[in-house]
Amino acid sequence: MQMNNAFDPEAAGTLDEATRALVERRARLLGPAYRLFYKEPIHFVRGRGSRLWDADGNEFLDAYNNVVSVGHAHPAVVDAVHRQMATLCTHTRYLQEGILDYAEQLLATFGGAPGDRHLMMTCTGSEANDLATRIAKHRTGNQGVIVTSEAYHGNSECTAGFSPSLGDNSPLGTWVRRIPAPDSYRIGDADLPGFFEQRVREAIADLHRHGQGVAALIVDSLFSSDGIYAHPTSLLRGAVDAVHEAGGLFIADEVQSGFARSGDAMWGYQRHGVSPDIITTGKPMGNGYPVAGVVVDHDVVSKFGRELRYFNTFGGNSVAVAAAQATLNVIEQERLLDNVHTTGAGLLAGLGELAQRHHCIGDVRGAGFYIGVEIVSDHDLKTPDAQLTAQIVNGLRDRRVLISATGPAGNVLKIRPPLVFNGDDAARFLETLDDTLSAVTAVASAGIGSGSR
């Protein structure tokens, strides 16, 4: 995945004095591997709901951050974390009721009977996917992992090894096979399930040929880093059946698509009518507190549980559980799934309307609060225009609205607001995007903007 809208350190000279000092101090202390968003990086000091404020007191509309799923600084989560930290913070080797109450409530959202599935807690999505593939390899006796071509599943040695979106300098495991993303814009909805299943079958055959076998197919059902593909929802069934036939498992990576994000169901895979063997969660689970997890079928983990053991010092600690419990309660009590469904449909419709007027929009797609807007320079050829996309993202930032970009060419606007984004927020977002598109395309057609237009 290209990060075309990242800050270019070479351009530090163009920043105001205070920002430049902070950027340079950061590079000195944190080193060269981090990236900053935007041509002009932002220094945030405060957040509330769908809003953020910078160090000069400017207010921004957040249409991007999914970690703070129930809104920045939600008082119920703040209070729960504060109270738990002041009472007790310890780990899973002591008996505690909090983790059991949470597991009971969370596991019920996946359906099935009590005892069918278990919750194992980690701190990050990377750890969750690491543990999930470890369980899958142990259970199946196979090594192979199948991922989509621009997937991102984590930053550990193991998960980076099956995260092709990290780029060509980040080697994939020899046990990894990439299949194309289900690009509904270029392939078309009707043929996609067959196309996708066929690619999975080819990957399985290749893994067998190389003596690896298939341990798992791991998929983010909204295909976030691949460019955001939410339809058709008949996509996964054939692919999952193919993996099961070959003795492998299906892992649903719900780090992006879970916790009501799609507006259709609590979990992204549920839109596809499939039943994963393992589900991984993370990012939005604790509204900013690091908490993540693996939800696993009893039968899948029983051999692993007998022969190995699992402990994670911070995973499932008392405060992590308090944060996760408060976040889940807010999602349910504030009926955020309904909000995502309704407000997300309004956003999609509004973006469809903008596509009628702004020629650079090639496709609008997504579900709930995960929306992709593909920016192209040629409608017939569907040519990605990454440069214009970066100008739009930066143009929105200058108008104090936050989004980013995704996809293999970095030409898909990634719109992913907190679940509390309301109708007024959506209206402000659409109006600002409309203005930004008019401004950047006017500059581009005057020949002083994107060179590709």
Q: Which chain residues interact with ligand PMP by CB under 6 A?
A: 124-126, 129, 152-155, 220, 224, 253, 255-256, 282-283, 292
Task: Give 334: exposed, middle or buried? Use CB within 10 Å, 0-12, 13-18, 19+.
Answer: middle
Q: Give the rounded distance of the alpha carbon of 410 from its chain centre.
A: 15
Which one, 67 or 73, has the nearer CB to ligand PMP? Answer: 67
Of 216 and 255, nearer to ligand PMP (C-beta) is: 255
Considering the complex, what minimum distance in angstroms separates the CB of residue 122 from ligand PMP? 9
**CA-to-CA distance for 70 and 361, rounded, in angstroms?**
30
The residue at minimum Cβ distance from ligand PMP is 125
Angle between helices 423-445 and 336-357 (to 10 degrees): 30
Residue 144 three-state SS: strand
For ligand PMP, the closer CB: 132 or 388: 132
> And the tokens for 349?
């419709």
The one-letter amino acid code at 8 reads: D
User: Closest separation between CB of residue 283 and ligand PMP, Å?
Assistant: 6
**Nearer residue to ligand PMP within complex by CB, 283 or 365:** 283
Q: How far is the CB of 155 from ligand PMP (least distance, A)?
A: 6
Give min distance, CB of 135 to ligand PMP, in A: 16
Strands 401-402, 59-62: parallel, antiparallel or unpaired by DSSP?
parallel
> Maximum CA pair distance of the chain?
68
Look up residue 320 and give its two tokens: 């992590």
What's the closest the beta carbon of residue 117 comes to ligand PMP, in angstroms? 19
59 close to 400: Cβ distance less than 8 angstroms: yes
The partner residues of 120 in beta bridges, in order of sequence, read 294
* Shortest CB 18 distance to ligand PMP, Å: 29
Q: What is the CA radius of gyration of the chain?
A: 22
Q: Which is nearer to ligand PMP, 220 or 425 (CB)?
A: 220
Please identify, using beta-carbon distances, which residue of 126 and 133 lies nearer to ligand PMP.
126
